[in-house]
């Protein structure tokens, strides 16, 4: 599956990506031939007005959705034509996703939520999974709340659990859709610093969508988007 034209140092890239959403009269050409690259160890901000296609693109890059046209490579593997099983395997191992709305499982504890992706990958013993989840929660400042149900945490705390969950399998790529959107200034600083530290210390590629100009300014790269294309 390796593609010789894809630079080896790129964690993630895409080319000529088109996506249509809706049907009939309501069919919208949301992404109009997007190209994008993300390097290991760098934090890239995608910015742009509401509705320009940022979340749609992030879903495609995270292999949560399929494009009508275009190529997506993850660590040199061409994923657009891969079957669902191959895409799921690559997603579990290489991609951590922080959603615009965090989607924690409300009936499970913070610890259980963070352990979910590890269970899916199935490489660690239950004790190791629990220990790793506890450490990740400590890293996001929630070590003492790991046994709480997701519903017993504030919005900002839930978002930090979602970040710990995205890091569970030490993915080489972290895609975050407005990860600080629901947080106060102190917590949004904490979360952003954590994402930067991860990118630098673990050579992870971090791609985040943000409407916050202060956060965007602190990223290594800013890519402005408009009407389904980068400008």
Q: Which is closer to ligand ATP, CB of 7 or CB of 101? A: 101
Instruction: Examine residue 231 and tell whether it contacts ligand ATP (CB under 6 A).
Output: no
Instruction: Examine residue 180 and tell whether it contacts Mg ion (CB under 5 A).
Output: no
Q: Which is closer to Mg ion, CB of 77 or CB of 100? A: 100
What residues are paired with 36 via a beta bridge?
A: 14
With beta carbons less than 8 A apart as the criterion, state whether 177 and 209 touch.
Answer: yes
Whether the CA torsion 169, 173, 178, 183 is positive or negative: it is positive
DSSP class of residue 143 equals: G
Instruction: Examine residue 64 and tell whether it contacts ligand ATP (CB under 6 A).
Output: no
Q: Which is closer to ligand ATP, CB of 61 or CB of 79? A: 61
Phi then psi for residue 181, to 5 deg, are -60, -35
With beta carbons less than 8 A apart as the criterion, state whether 138 and 110 touch.
Answer: no
Subset of residues 39 to 98 that bind Mg ion, contact rule: CB under 5 A: 55
Q: Which is closer to ligand ATP, CB of 126 or CB of 224? A: 224
Token pair of 193 as six digits: 């610093």
Residue given tokens 């600080």 in the structure block:
180
Instruction: Examine residue 13 and tell whether it contacts Mg ion (CB under 5 A).
Output: no
Instruction: Examine residue 188 and tell whether it contacts Mg ion (CB under 5 A).
Output: no
Subset of residues 23 to 52 that bind ligand ATP, contact rule: CB under 6 A: 26, 28, 30, 50-52
Q: How far is the CB of 127 from Mg ion (least distance, A)?
A: 38
What is the distance between the alpha carbons of residues 44 and 115, in angstroms, rounded to a whole number? Answer: 27
Across 22-151, the runs of DSSP E, i.e. the strands, are 28-39, 43-47, 69-74, 77-78, 95-98
Task: Write the Ramachandran bin of 54: left for phi over 0, alpha for psi from -120 to 50, otherwise beta.
Answer: alpha
Q: Which is closer to Mg ion, CB of 12 or CB of 57? A: 57
Instruction: Examine residue 54 and tell whether it contacts ligand ATP (CB under 6 A).
Output: yes
Size of the site for Mg ion (CB under 5 A): 1
Subset of residues 102 to 141 that bind ligand ATP, contact rule: CB under 6 A: none
Instruction: Examine residue 210 and tell whether it contacts ligand ATP (CB under 6 A).
Output: no
Residues that bind Mg ion (CB under 5 A): 55
Residues that bind ligand ATP (CB under 6 A): 21-22, 26, 28, 30, 50-56
């Amino acid at each position: 599956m390796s593609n010789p034209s894809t630079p080896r140092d790129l964690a993630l890239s895409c080319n000529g990506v088109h996506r249509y959403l809706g049907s009939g009269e309501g069919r919208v050409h949301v992404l109009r031939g997007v190209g994008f690259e993300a390097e290991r160890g760098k934090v890239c901000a995608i910015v742009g007005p509401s509705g320009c296609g940022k979340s749609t693109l992030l879903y495609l890059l995270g292999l949560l959705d399929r494009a009508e046209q275009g190529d997506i490579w993850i660590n040199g593997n061409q994923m657009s034509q891969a079957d669902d099983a191959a895409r799921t395997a690559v997603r579990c191992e290489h991609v951590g996703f922080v959603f615009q709305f965090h989607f924690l499982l409300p009936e499970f504890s913070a610890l259980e939520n963070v352990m979910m992706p590890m269970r899916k990958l199935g490489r660690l013993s239950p004790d190791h999974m629990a220990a790793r989840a506890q450490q990740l929660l400590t890293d996001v400042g929630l070590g003492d709340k790991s046994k709480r149900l997701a519903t017993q945490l504030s919005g900002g705390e839930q978002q930090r659990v979602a970040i710990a969950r995205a890091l569970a399998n030490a993915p080489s790529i972290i895609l975050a859709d407005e990860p600080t959107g629901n947080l106060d200034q102190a917590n949004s600083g904490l979360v952003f610093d954590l994402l930067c530290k991860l990118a630098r210390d673990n050579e992870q590629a971090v791609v985040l969508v943000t409407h916050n100009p202060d956060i965007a300014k602190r990223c290594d790269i800013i890519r402005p988007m408009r009407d389904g294309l980068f400008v």
